[in-house]
Structure formats: C-alpha cells, structure tokens
Amino acid sequence: MSWLHFFILLPLLFAIIIPILYKKIPKIHTGWFVVIVPLSIFVYLLTFVPMIAGGETAMYTLPWIPGFNIDVSFYVDGLGLVFGLIISGIGTLVVLYSIYYLSKWREALHNFYVYLMLFMTAMLGVVFSNNLIVLYLFWELTSISSFLLIAYWYARRQSRYGAQKAMLITIFGGFAMLAAIIMLGIMGDTFSIRELFAQGDQLVQHELFIPAMILLLIGAFTKSAQFPFHIWLPDAMEAPTPISAYLHSATMVKAGIYVVARFTPFFGGTMEWFWLVTGVGLLTLLWGSLLAVKQRDLKALLAFSTVSQLGFIMSLLGMGSAALYYGEGELAHLHAMAVLAAVFHLVNHATFKGSLFMVVGIVDHETGTRDTRKLGGLLSIMPISFTLALIGSLSMAGLPPFNGFLSKELFFTGTLNASSLDIFRMETYGFLIPVIAWVASVFTFIYSIILVFKTFFGKYQPERLEKEAHEAPWGMLVPPAILALLVVMIFFLPNVLSDYILEPMVASILPALAGQFDFHIEAWHGFEPELFMTIGIVVVGTILYLTLRKWMGLYNNLPRALTITNAYNSGLRGMESISRKITDAHMTGFSRDYLRYIFVIFVLIVGTHLFMMDAFSFETANVANINLFEIILSLVLIGATAMVVITRSRLAAVICVGVLGYVVALFFVVLRAPDLALTQLAIETVTVALFLVCFYHLPRLRKKEDGDGFNIPNFIIASAVGILVTLVALSANGHRIFPPISDFYLDAYELAGAANMVNAILADFRALDTLLEIFVLCIAGLGVYTLVKVRLARGEKNENQ
Amino acid sequence: MKTNDVILQTVASVSAFIILTFAAYLFFAGHHEPGGGFIGGIVIASALVLLYLAFDMETVQQGIRVDYKILTGIGIGLSTITGVGAMLLGYPFLSHTFEYVTFPFFGEMELATSVLFEVGVSLAVVGATMTIILSISEDV
C-alpha cells in the first residue's frame, strides 16, 4: 500500500460518504466537498513531474493473487502521469462547473457524484495499472460508471437508449480485450506489462501475436469511438454536459488511445499495427469531420468532432509506430515526431474540447436550447462565453495563436513523413494519407466556424429560445476560462510543456528511442508545405462555409437505411427476438420442468464424461469397516426417503425430511466430525421452525390430475440421476491419484493457532470461501425479503384500487 | 385466535438465555473445540426464533430493536474490513494472525484477529437467517 494506491482509491472511498454529506448538509452543494478529491489527486500527481521529467519511473506493488500473477501494481511513467494529470485536472474543473450546472434542489446530486467518483477511480486505475488483469477490471469499471452517468436522467428514453448503446459497444470491446489479455498472458506467462515488454522481441514470432493485436485493438477502438464503433458517442451526449465534457471528450474516450500508446512498444514496428491503427484513425478522422458539419445540435456537433479528433490522435500513433521499425537514427527521429504530435494533441484536445463543451453547456443552460437553427446573435449578450468559444473553436480549427495550430502542423509533418516511407507498402498508398488528412482538416475548419458563427452571430431570436438569454454566473465561466487560458499559454510556451510532460510521454511510447531525441516545437517554421496546407484549409474552408446552403443538401443523399446506427438497432432487435424465443421455449414457469432440464443435462454431461473417459472404478481397498450402527442409520435414511416420496400428507413429508437431516447429523457424529454434526443439527432445527412458520399457509398436497400417477420419462431421469451419483461417488473413492492435502491442515495449531482444524480452515486458510458464503447467505436473505415484500406491495396496491 | 401459552412463554424466556449462553460458548470455543462463528450465529438465530414463536412479533420487536437486514450488512462489512486490514499492512487479503497475551486475571490467553472475522460471520448469519424467517412469517 503506497500513497499512489491511496490516491487512486480515494474517489472510491470518498464515494461512500457522499450520500451522507448530501443528506446531512443539504444547504451546501455537495460538489463543494467533492471538488477536494480531484484537486488533491492533481496536486499529489504534480509531485511526480520532476522525477518523470528526469527520465525516471516508479512502480508500487501490492500483492493480490500471487498464485495467478495478479497484483495491484501501479506504474508511473510519462504516459500514465499525463493521463492522470488530465483526469484529475479536468476532473477538478468539471466538478467546479457542475456545482453551478446542476441545481442542488432539483437534481439527485448524491447519485451523480458517486458515479463520478467511481469513474475517476476507474480511470486512474486504467492509466496507472501495470497488471493487465487489474487494468481490465478498471477498464470495465469505466464502462459501467459511464453507463450510469449517461443514464443519469434515466426518466428520458433517449438517455436510457444512449447508455445502453454505449455500454453494449464498449463492453463488447472489453471482452475482446480480455481475450487479448489472456492471449498475452499465455504468450509471456505473465500479466505484468513491464515483464511482457521485456520479452517483446521473442514474442513477435508467436502465433498468437496477430490475434492478440487485433482483439486488443477492437477493445481500444470501441472505447475511443473509432469507426465503425463511433456510433455510441453521439448518443452518449444525453448525459449532463459536465459529464460529456469530462468522460466523452477529455478522459474515458482517450482510454483507447492510452491502450494503443501503451502497447506501441510491444506491437509497434510491425506492418499490421501500422496499417490498422493509421487506417482506422484516418477513416475515423475523415468520417467524423464530415458528419460533424451536418449536425444541428451543438453537442452532437462536438461529439462528432471528438470522434474525428480521436481518429486524428490514433492515426498519428499509428504513423509514429514506424519509428520502432527503424529503432534509431534520423528516420526514427523523424517518425517519433508523429508520436510527439499525438501526445501533444491529446493534451491540447483535452483543453480546448473541455472548454468548448462547457461553453456549449452554458449556452444550453442559459437559453434552454442547443439547436443551431434557433440560436444566434448571442455575441452582445454573452461576450465572455463568446470569447471562450472563439478561443476553443479556433484552436480546434488549427489556427494560430492557439495550441491546436501547433499540433496540427506537427500532424501534417507526420503525414508527409509517413507518405515518404518506403516500408509497409507505403510507396503505393502513402500519398493518400496527407490527402485524407487535409480534406478532414477542411471540414474540421468548417464545423469549428459553424459552432461560433451560428451561435453568436446572426440574428437574436428570443421568441425561439426557451428562456431569456443572459451571461452565465462566474462559477460556470471560470473552469472553461482556465482551460482557454491554457490553450493560449501552450501556444506561446510549447517547449515548457514539451520538456516536462511530452518528452517523457514519448519516451514511454517509444522506449527504444528514449534519451536519443530532443524535440523543439516552433510556431513559425518557415514556408514549408505544412504552412501552405493550413492556408489552403482556411481559403477552401471559408469558401465552403459561405456556400454551405448550396451543398448541405448532399448529406440528404446518404442512404438512411445503410447507416451503422441502423445496423446496430436492427441487430439489437434481432437479438432480442431470438433470445425471447429461446427463453419462451424453455422458461415454462413450472419448477418440475426446470428440474427435468437440469437433471437431463447433468446426466448427459457427467454420464458421457464418465463413460468416455472410462473413469468408473470400484475400489474396496481403502474402504473403512462398516459397523452395525451405520447399517441401521442407512436403513432409516432409505426408509425416510421413501416415505417422503410415498406419503400423501405434507406433515409426514416434512417430518421425514427432518428425519433425513438428523440422521445425516448422526452420521457426522459417528464419523467423528462434531463441527459438521453441530451445524447440521442447528440448521435442521431452524429449518423445522421455518416450516412451522409457513406450514399453515401452504396449499394441500394434491395428486396430479392427469396421468395414472406414474410418469415413465420422470422415472428414467430420476433413476439415471441416482445411479450416476452413486457411480461418481464410488469412482471418486476409487481414484486416489494425489496424496490428500489434509496433512497440511494438521499443522493448523502452529500456522493459525487453532486446535480445531475445521475452524482454522474456515477462518484462516480458506477465509475467502467463508466470506463469499456469508455474501451468498445475505443475498439469499435479501432475495427472500424482496420476493415477499414486493409481492405484498403489489397486493396492497390492488386493494387500494 | 389467541391461546393461553403461559407455559411456553415462561419456558421460552428462560431457555432463550440458556441457548444464548450456549451460543456464546460455541462462538468462543470455535478456535480449539467444535463451534465457531457460523454455528454460533445459527444457535443465536434459533434462540430468537424460539422467542418469536412463543411471543408475538410486536412484543419481541419491542425488546430487540434490530433491523436484521442492516445487521447482515454490518456483519459482511466487518468480515470484509478485517480482510482489508491485512492489506493495509501489506499482507494478502484476509491474512490473520494470533498472539498469546498474559492477562492479569485470566492468565495467558490467545488473541486472534480471526475472531473479528468470525464476529462478522456470526452477525451476517443471524441477520440473514432472521431476515428470511421473519419475511416469510410476516407474509400472511
């Protein structure tokens, strides 16, 4: 347990007291308490910066399940640290913003902040985990907490739809990633990322290398909303705006990028990785920017813009992975610039997109709509919001003097370098990369302009807005203003950021090149092709924006039936109807049918196995002597069982079941297992009491009306189960391959200080079993409670009607 | 239907104490003799069931103001926390330890952290069992 462990789990621990704070101190907005958590994490993580900038890393390990190579080890390097800073930094601003965005009177704040804190721990866990299994655990936790946050306003149908869509798609990807993780575990015989990377060179030839790569990428692509999995992100915009700003632009959607970056040292340098990551990234970049232009809802526009920008970063990571092919030298350095551009844009995107989301939230909050057709002319009413929107949008469009310009120039450099590659068959298709990048950037420019102009210029139409527009309170303006300030500051001082933050990050993505390079980011780099590309974007983009009306109609020609969302919807409907049919076929509502299915399957599986493996054996050598007393007990047992079946009286049946229980307890006594006997007796007593309680209300036992009372299939099934269990029991005794482990427990007194071996096993050696057993008991109790109470509640309602 | 069950009630109130004492014995005997948290919990539950059978539900509830659902939660929480406690000290989850300590009056006795775990088990068992029995018997 280290401080890092504590701070990663801090949001989770804090989540426990949020509902109490919400109930006990309703006068103060709960957000004011919550904001301390991300802030303290941010400050704590800042203390790592000097160490990381010095090229060092740190690892904190906590053993968890050492037997399976699973431990909670957190690893701090450039990549993880920057993500951690973004998560906690933007997290602080988002919580601050949400204090003004969510009303403390109307909203279920305790739910909101509990989910948010859950998410924060999950996200921090993902970026710092060194163990793949732990990483997967946190990875799925991000999906679940995101589901809860998207469905925060769960009364709305669209919110539920969006939440379900996001969860189905990202968890599907998560399963793919789990398969990849298991494959990696098989390949390297470890789940530690560090140890796996150390064996990277030998594992390239492994037959599971490519399948693991593809499955891992599916996981990363679904999370980062890459084409064709991007369809969940626009629907996720049903979440409250602080959530959209936080999860769906700055943090969670970047988890996929994190994974791609994290695994670049392992998979990078191969042709498959290069093409998959670059290709999907470019496709997403282009598709997202094309669709963003057509959106009328500002948040949907930003959602598609995020999709596009994620593709941007993804493609750069793909192109930069070529550096690992060269390993060192001038060419490697050239392509490493692409990775620098990727991480640089990652930081830039978090700043400008975070602020843009918050500004759109302000517009929504103050006017009641996000529809570009209704908005307009807000410039004079909301000047501060306008300034923030302008800064964010121009940065997104890639214009100076904002940080987006720098990373976009680097992006063009990266594409031009990639197109001149002579490996990976780039000589044939390489020219496409800069072309796609340029076209996508033109559309990026257009939607950035749309965002500002349609909202803040034009005619103010108060009659179409839901409420009179006015400037937001300062508390809502401060968080985006801080981000906008960063946007400008990074433009003027990019190399401070680069030296302290970005270079360690590149070093952890391209470890082979660590220490070999020294990047210098410049705003002015002469009359290079990149600059002309930017000028071309502004010129063509402006012309296209002015003629927007003329060609917007082209979007209507896209066939609606062929969209991916449509495919998702019909797929969902199809799955639902198929599973309904399957369920209807076997869920008849009669427990005798269920028992029949269970027993038939049991007999088929176990019986076939016993037969196929030729596993039956009957060994009398190690059987103890049977004395008269045991024979009598067995006869009583058989007699009581027979009585249960034959009797027509429920009381007699209950008594016979009780007899069975007590006879089994006597067996335990005879076989010298007093603990078991004691437990069995007590349980039997409580069970009889339970019977007494509900006996009065049970219906009378009735003979089955149909048939002659003798059902041949049932007879066969029952006999088969009985015979099979006997055979298995005999075989279990006949096969003694390994020496019994009971000798270990004989040392219970030395190991656990308990003379009672059974109890030492229960409380010390196998305490987890006991713990889970009481969980089961608790769930059973609550299950009975809800079954009874829910039915009661419904009955009362009927009475009222 | 109101019956005169004075004998049952008198016997029950006396024997409930005997059973509870026995339960306490079983609980503490668990480490070296037959017994333990689970069985202790079951015996406590059976004493409570006896009381509920002899008296009516309201009377017992007035004497024992416990929400058994919450009791279950407390039990599970306690058991889990004893496991987490080991993690805080850098040992695997649910590691337990024991120590022999000499007390002024009782002499040398064994103190084991697993007792805390067992307390949690007992509370969870009592809570869950009573939840089940009471919700079924309330369902008239």
A513-543 tens-digit pLDDT: 777 767 777 777 777 778 888 888 888 888 8
Give the model confidence (pLDDT) of A674-725 as tens digits.
888 888 888 888 887 777 777 777 776 665 555 556 778 888 998 999 999 9
Contact A763 B114 (CB under 8 A): yes
CA distance A770 to chain B (A): 8
3-state SS, residue A510:
coil
pLDDT band at A38 (very low <50, low <70, confident <90, very high): very high
Nearest to A679 among B33, B42, B49 (CB): B42
Gap from B11 CA to chain A (nearest CA, Å): 17
Which of the four pLDDT bands, split at 50, 70 and 90, describes residue A791?
low
Residue A264 pLDDT > 80, yes or no?
yes
Cβ <8 Å between A686 and B75: no
- Kindly report which listed range (A106-120, A318-332, A701-715, A761-775) carries the lowest average pLDDT score: A701-715
- Mean pLDDT, rounded, for A289-297: 86
Q: How far is B12 from chain A (nearest CA, A)?
A: 14
pLDDT at A800: 44
d(CA A789, CA A295) in angstroms, rounded, equals 49
| Distance from C-alpha of A239 to C-alpha of A295, rounded to nearest angstrom | 18
pLDDT tops 60 at residue A63:
yes
Task: Please tell me which of the candidates B49, B127, B135 has its beta carbon nearest to residue A788.
Answer: B135
Is A771 in CB contact (< 8 Å) with chain B?
Answer: yes
Cβ–Cβ gap A752/B125 under 8 Å:
no
Query: Residue A215's pLDDT is what?
Result: 93
Report the chain B residue with the minimal C-alpha distance to residue A686: B46
Distance from CA of B85 to the nearest CA of A (A): 11
Q: How confident is the model at residue A584 (pLDDT cuts 50, 70, 90)?
A: confident
Tell whether A694 lies on the interface with B, counting CB pairs under 8 A: yes
User: Quick one: pLDDT band at residue A793, thresholds 50, 70, 90?
Assistant: low
Does the distance separating the beta carbons of A63 and B39 come in below 8 Å?
A: no
**What DSSP assignment string belongs to A267-322?**
HTTSHHHHHHHHHHHHHHHHHHHHHHHH--BHHHHHHHHHHHHHHHHHHHHHHHTH
**Cα torsion A770, A772, A775, A777: sign:** negative
- According to DSSP, the β-strands at A70-76 and A58-65 are antiparallel
pLDDT of residue A705: 52
Query: Is-above-0.80 flag for pTM?
Result: no
State the pLDDT at residue A62: 83
Q: Is the ipTM of this complex over 0.85?
A: yes
pLDDT for A408 beyond 90: no
Chain A residues in contact with B139 by the CB 8 A cut-off are 694, 697, 788, 791-792
Beta carbons of A135 and A395 less than 8 angstroms apart: no
Quote the CA–CA distance of A85 and A285 in Å, as a whole number.
26
**Chain B residue numbers touching A753 (CB-CB < 8 A):** 31, 98, 100, 110, 112
Give CA angle at A259 (A92, A4), nearest 5°: 45
Q: Which of A469-473, A671-675, A750-754, B89-93 has the largest mean confidence?
A: A671-675
Contact A165, A235 (CB under 8 A): yes
With a cut of 60, say whether residue A770 has pLDDT above it. Answer: yes
Q: Is A2 on the interface with B (CB under 8 A)?
A: no
Q: For the stretch A534-562, what's the b/e string if a residue is b when 16 or more beta carbons lie within 10 angstroms of its beta carbon?
A: beebeebbeebbeeeeeeeeeeeeeeeee
Quote the tokens at residue A543.
Answer: 């012309």
Q: Which comes out higher in pLDDT, residue A308 or A742?
A: A308
Reduce the secondary structure of A108-120 to three states and give it as a string.
Answer: CHHHHHHHHHHHH
Question: How many pairs of residues across A and B have Cβ atoms under 8 Å apart?
Answer: 162
Buried b (16+ CB within 10 A) or exposed e, A32-53: ebbbebbbebbebbeebbeebe
Q: What is the pLDDT of residue A87?
A: 92
Chain A residues touching B136 at Cβ < 8 A: 690, 693-694, 784, 788
What is the pLDDT at residue A709? 63
Residues 403-422 of A with CB under 8 A from B: none
A66: chain B residues, CB-CB within 8 Å: 92
Mean pLDDT of A185-203: 86
* pLDDT of A555 over the 80 cut: no
Structure token pair of residue A764 = 């010390």
Banded pLDDT at A174 (limits 50, 70, 90): very high
Using pLDDT thresholds of 50, 70 and 90, give the confidence band for residue A763. Answer: confident
Closest CA to A168 of A568, A576, A738: A568
The answer to whether residue A126 scores a pLDDT higher than 50 is: yes
| Percentage of residues in chain A having pLDDT higher than 90 | 20
What is the percent of chain A with per-residue pLDDT over 70, rounded to a whole number? 95
Mean pLDDT of A360-371: 85
Mean of pLDDT values over A116-125: 92
pLDDT digit string (tens) for A235-259? 888 888 888 888 888 888 899 999 9
Among the ranges given (A27-41, A304-318, A434-448, A684-698), the one the predictor scored with the smallest mean pLDDT: A684-698
The pLDDT-based confidence of A795 (bands split at 50, 70, 90) is: low
Please list every residue in chain A whose beta carbon sits closer than 8 Å to the beta carbon of residue B120: 774
Q: Which helix (H) or strand (E) holds A795?
A: helix A767-800
pLDDT digits (tens, 9 = 90+) for A482-499: 999 988 888 888 888 888
pLDDT over 60 at A288, yes or no: yes
Higher pLDDT, A507 or A85: A85
> B127 vs A775: CB contact, 8 Å cut-off?
no
Chain B residues with CB-CB distance to A775 below 8 A: 76
Residues A660 and A684: their CA atoms lie apart, in Å, by: 9
- Binary contact (A788, B136; C-beta < 8 A): yes
